[in-house]
């Protein structure tokens, strides 16, 4: 990767009139979070599941909430604690300041459920897979979604099982679960996520001829929702900066591709602004 590519990225960003940040799990890696890439990455983060021989998709399956809630809440309760404990890295603040310097500000589209953009001070965050900081009924008996702020789940990290009491639905008293879109998930309550996505679409429509620059970070190819969103949002202009150490190629062939870790890339760009 050449200095020339970094300079092109800095030029795009300094000429932006609006900034769209698109982020996948790789953006949290520099805060110390695992990205769950492949069984090995998942097992390094969660050795107990390696002993059980379970992949990420098997551990994360919503069926466990009905069949073995202590096991289901073991995984999600542990993640809730991990995302609460982890402090978002400085790259969040750099992006926020770049966005604040543009005429129309910054918006975020992310598949991350960790709530770190909000913690870093972003006001407009569209979470396409929901948020671990909100709960819903397992049934669900209503479309209600409520904050998990008062919830703390006690997890035995040897067995990855949660101890009673487990979170319950205030309406029907049944089991509660995180408002996250899981694999093969038919009972996710999508309204909060859809509302934020609708606001993002309206914002983009109102931008009209303004120079929108898309900065995409840590988005993988396995579940390409974030990559697709970033490529479509930059299809007309080519104004895409893709930051990804292992999967940097851009399908529409334009834009700037930076094969490096997100924080290092953002700090290098900051020096050129």
Ligand X SMILES: NC(=O)c1ccc[n+]([C@@H]2O[C@H](COP(=O)([O-])OP(=O)(O)OC[C@H]3O[C@@H](n4cnc5c(N)ncnc54)[C@H](O)[C@@H]3O)[C@@H](O)[C@H]2O)c1
Specify the stretch interacting with ligand X by CB under 6 A; choose among 9-17, 30-38, 151-159, 188-196. 30-38
Q: Please choose, from the candidates 42, 1, 38, 66, the residue with its C-alpha nearest in 3D space to the C-alpha of residue 256.
A: 1
Q: How far apart are CA 175 and CA 180, in angstroms?
A: 15
* Cβ at position 116, least distance to ligand X in Å: 7
231 binds ligand X (CB under 6 A): no
28 binds ligand X (CB under 6 A): yes
Report the residue number, 169 or 250, with the smaller CB distance to ligand X.
250
- Please count the other Cβ atoms lying within 10 Å of the Cβ belonging to residue 186: 6
Tell me how far apart the alpha carbons of residues 270 and 53 are, in angstroms, rounded to a whole number: 43
Range 112-151, binding ligand X (CB under 6 A): 112-114, 129
Choose the one of Zn ion, ligand X, none that binds residue 9, judging by a C-beta under 5 to 8 angstroms depending on kind. none
- Kindly identify the residues of this chain, within the stretch 140-159, that bind Zn ion according to CB under 5 A: 141
Total number of residues that touch ligand X (CB under 6 A): 30
Q: Are 204 and 213 in contact (CB under 8 A)?
A: no
Cα-Cα-Cα-Cα dihedral sign, residues 184, 186, 192, 194: positive
Q: Residue from 219, 233, 250, 269 that binds ligand X (CB under 6 A)? A: 219
Question: How many residues sit in the footprint of Zn ion (CB under 5 A)?
Answer: 6
Q: How many CA atoms lie within 13 A of 15 on its CB side?
A: 10
Burial 114-136 (b: 16+ CB within 10 A, else e): bbbbbebebebbbbbbbbbbbbb
Residue 5 neighbours by CB distance under 10 Å = 17
| Residue number of the CB atom closest to ligand X | 26
Draw the binding track, 163-202, toward Zn ion (x: CB under 5 A; -: no contact): ------x-xx-x----------------------------
State the residues that interact with ligand X by CB under 6 A: 24-30, 33, 35-37, 111-114, 129, 217-220, 222-223, 226, 243-247, 261-262
């Amino acid at each position: 990767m050449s200095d020339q590519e970094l300079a092109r990225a800095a030029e795009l960003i300094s000429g932006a009139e609006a900034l769209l940040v698109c982020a996948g799990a790789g953006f949290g890696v520099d805060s110390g979070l695992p990205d769950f890439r492949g069984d090995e990455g998942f097992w390094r983060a969660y050795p107990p599941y390696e002993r059980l021989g379970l992949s990420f998709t098997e551990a994360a399956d919503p069926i466990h909430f009905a069949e073995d809630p202590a096991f289901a809440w073991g995984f999600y309760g542990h993640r809730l604690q991990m995302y609460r404990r982890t402090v978002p890295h400085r790259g969040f603040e750099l992006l926020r300041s770049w966005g604040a310097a543009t005429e129309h500000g910054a918006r975020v589209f992310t598949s991350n459920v960790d709530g770190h953009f909000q913690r870093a001070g972003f006001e407009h965050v569209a979470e396409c897979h929901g948020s671990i900081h909100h709960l819903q009924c397992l049934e669900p008996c209503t479309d209600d979604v409520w904050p998990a702020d008062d919830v703390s789940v006690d997890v035995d990290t040897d067995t990855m099982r949660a101890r009673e009491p487990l979170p319950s639905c205030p309406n029907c008293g049944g089991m509660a679960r995180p408002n996250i879109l899981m694999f093969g998930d038919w009972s996710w309550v999508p309204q909060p996520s859809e509302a934020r996505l609708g606001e993002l679409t309206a914002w983009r429509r109102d931008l009209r001829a303004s120079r929108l620059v898309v900065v995409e970070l840590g988005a993988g190819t396995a579940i390409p929702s974030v990559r697709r969103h970033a490529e479509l949002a930059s299809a007309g202009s080519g104004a895409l900066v893709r930051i990804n150490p292992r999967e940097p190629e851009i399908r529409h062939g334009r834009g700037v591709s930076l094969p490096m870790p997100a924080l290092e890339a953002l700090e290098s760009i900051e020096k050129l602004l």
